[in-house]
Structure 1
Amino acid sequence: MLAQEKLGDSVLLTPLIRNLRKAFPKLEIHIIAFSEASANFFRNDSDVTAVHQTKREPGRYKREVLKREFDVLFNTKDHPSTHFLLQSVLIKARHKVGHANEFHTGLFDQLITIEHNTHMALKNCAILPLLGVTVTEEECRPCLPPSLLPMEMQIFLRQIDTRRPTGINISAGEANRTWPETKWKKLVQSLPDTQFIVLSGPSELESKRNLERSCPNIIPSPATGNLYEASRIVETLELLVTPDTSLIHIASATATPVIGLYREAPQDITRFGPFRIPGELVISPTGEVAGISPDSVKKAVEKQLQRERPASWETSV
């Protein structure tokens, strides 16, 4: 299958992989990756047979992919993409499946017709009925492949196991999805009786440490080395506050209630928003996440923390 480039897209492809492996234990699952981040993510998945990168080691890609014939090729993109269309033509397969749009007409043996704004977790799994596999929406929940945890992270997880803090993710993949450090600090300081944990990517590690030093109600935590480590922290949380990033999908995987900070972009919300988890979305009035006020996020946090979390929400990764 052709995997989309971003880490969040990779997370949303995991339910399809899980369901394929469950239905067909001996199936070979090959991932065609278009980014290093996506390739590394799937290399950690024991349910994936092989990961192939289109632009790295072209000779090897030609031998292992272009010179063989697969049973089924699935292009997961639901909109036109030059690279994805090119690989859909070059890769030989007995059956080629894609999502219905005018640019895919004539290139695939089967086009999946599904409402465009359907969540991508469900759109990825929409190929399963064509293979004779029936799944529920719950079975389309994302799930991360496990990996080894550093000892520091194992110790930290044991320390917070019963504390149920609230998490804030200060990282965002794009500038217009970023909420400033000053606003995160104001939010945390406005809720002095709530314990917080700060999650961040490597480029925001200094901001994470600044917040931990300046706010006594933040529990200092180890830096996370990958999404699996982040997910192990997220599953301990009472609530996660995060911009529109892959951590939204981590919350969906761990059934953790979420406050999502979004731009006014309807298709981002419907196709890539929280999946089957309680929570609330705070939409920026300016078109950039930075336009959201700390007070509006505080009100959303207070509302969610007042809700009782049923035992059925407790899900391990």
Structure 2
Amino acid sequence: MSIKVLFFSHDGKLGDAVVNTAFVAALRAARPDCEIHATVAGVTAPFWGADPRISKLWRVQRPGWRDTIRLALAMRRERYDYIITWQRMRKEKNKLMLWLARPGKVIDLQDYNAGPLQHKVAACGAALAQMGVAPGALAYDIGLPSHCPEIDATLPAGEEVVVINLFAADAERNVGAPQAEELLRGLRAQMPQARLCLVCTDATAQQAQAVAAASGTSAEVVNCEGNLARLLRLCERANMLISPDTALIHIASAYDRPVVGIYQNNGVKSVQWGPRSRLSACVLSASKDSLSGFAVADVLREVRALRDQALPVAQQVSAVAPSERLA
């Protein structure tokens, strides 16, 4: 019997959406006839909108009370078997929407969230288990094709590409200019011929350009503001990605690219949101609240180690059938 499922993704966080592709992939594999819907807002709208596994999107972009009621009653007519909220609703509008939607079962993962610390991908397995679906091995699986002729033309095949992200949603997770410049110079010394690509948005473009110029490394600035295809293809094209705890960590992991993540030293972030690539490493800062005091030398050491391992792994992958490769 076919089931109809709605999951919440209207927090607008791209990283969370990438993690939840593991849920979508596993559900679709176990129940090919299921109908999957998602609530979306901000960048999650184009992300899930291009995914053929998602049948319907519900745009929840700061609705008023009247819009919330209208939306919830429309959801109610769908007669969902399950609504996955991932956590207990705190906002009154979300609580009302959920109550009016009247699903067969709400999955908020209360017991999972109160349990031992795990990577966030495990929440996908916990949700599936509550739905009676054996999750099996969970892996990110971005459902939309990465296609960007501009990136392919700029970064031709065979050229080593290192993607560096310095910026996060909050200042505490940004890499400071002095460390960023030191990092770029160290990467250039290790990889004289590599293309160093600094990712930015409109808000951080000026800072990225200043860092690139001050480093003297000929690093290139790639602005991905409002261009999801460019961001996805850049991460897929990377031979190495270096970033704080941001969506880029998860996108590169979905494409199984070598990743070095830089995290606060609080015992939580690197566990819950660490990279999932086969070749990956985490470098911790000296602070539990920010990236202050992380050692650039540690990042460069991890880059060197992963780079040394990358060729044997690439040779192994080329010997495996495409259907058996990691998503």
Which band: TM-score by shorter chain? 0.7 to 0.9
User: What is the distance in 1 between the residues matched to 2:326 and 2:125?
Assistant: 21
User: What is the distance in 2 between the residues matched to 1:301 and 1:276?
Assistant: 14
Check the 8 A contact 2:285/2:294 in 1, yes or no: yes
- Describe the shift of the 1:12–1:50 C-alpha distance in structure 2 as closer, same or farther (beyond 3 A): same
After TM superposition, the structure 1 = structure 2 runs for residues 29-68 of structure 1, keeping only pairs within 5 Å, are: 29-33=36-40, 35-54=41-60, 55-56=62-63, 57-58=67-68, 60-68=70-78
Check the 8 A contact 2:37/2:55 in 1, yes or no: yes
- Deviation of 1:38 (Å): 2.6
Residue matched to 1:144: 142
Check the 8 A contact 2:264/2:284 in 1, yes or no: yes
Instruction: Report the count of equivalent residues.
Output: 301
Q: Does 1:72 find its partner at 2:60?
A: no
**Percent identical residues:** 21
User: What is the distance in 2 between the residues matched to 1:271 and 1:212?
Assistant: 31
Unaligned runs of 5+ in 2: 1-6, 319-324
Q: Say which SS state the counterpart of residue 104 (structure 2) adopts.
A: strand
Deviations 1:38-58 (A, max 9, x none): 333222222111121343454
Residue matched to 1:97: 107
Residue matched to 2:164: 168
Deviations 1:17-50 (A, max 9, x none): 12222333332211123x4233332222221111
- Describe the shift of the 1:302–1:218 C-alpha distance in structure 2 as closer, same or farther (beyond 3 A): farther
Q: Does 1:285 find its partner at 2:281?
A: no
Residue matched to 1:81: 90
User: What is the distance in 1 between the residues matched to 2:149 and 2:235?
Assistant: 18
User: What is the distance in 2 between the residues matched to 1:80 and 1:232?
Assistant: 34
- Deviation of 1:132 (Å): 4.3
Q: What amino acid does structure 1 have at the position aligned with 2:51?
A: D
Q: What amino acid does structure 2 have at the position aligned with 1:142?
A: Y
Residue matched to 2:322: none
| Residue of structure 1 aligned with 2:299, choices 281, 297, 300 | 297
Residue matched to 1:125: 125
| Residue of structure 1 aligned with 2:185, choices 185, 189, 194 | 189
- Describe the shift of the 1:116–1:41 C-alpha distance in structure 2 as closer, same or farther (beyond 3 A): farther
| Coordinate RMSD, CA, aligned | 2.9
Q: Say which SS state the counterpart of residue 119 (structure 1) adopts.
A: coil
Q: Say which SS state the counterpart of residue 43 (structure 2) adopts.
A: helix
User: What is the distance in 1 between the residues matched to 2:265 and 2:113?
Assistant: 26
Deviations 1:116-158 (A, max 9, x none): 4121112113232344433433xx221223257454223124x
Q: What amino acid does structure 2 have at the position aligned with 1:117?
A: L
Q: What amino acid does structure 2 have at the position aligned with 1:81?
A: R
User: What is the distance in 1 between the residues matched to 2:251 and 2:146?
Assistant: 17
* Deviation larger for 15-24 or 208-217: 208-217
Residue matched to 1:252: 253
- Deviation of 1:219 (Å): 5.2
- Deviation of 1:175 (Å): 0.8
Check the 8 A contact 1:4/1:76 in 2, yes or no: no
- Deviation of 1:274 (Å): 1.3
Check the 8 A contact 1:153/1:222 in 2, yes or no: no
Q: What amino acid does structure 1 have at the position aligned with 2:159?
A: R
- Deviation of 1:220 (Å): 2.9
Superposition TM-score, scaled by structure 1 size: 0.82
Unaligned runs of 5+ in 1: 102-111
Deviations 1:75-121 (A, max 9, x none): 212x66335554433321122222134xxxxxxxxxx6884412111
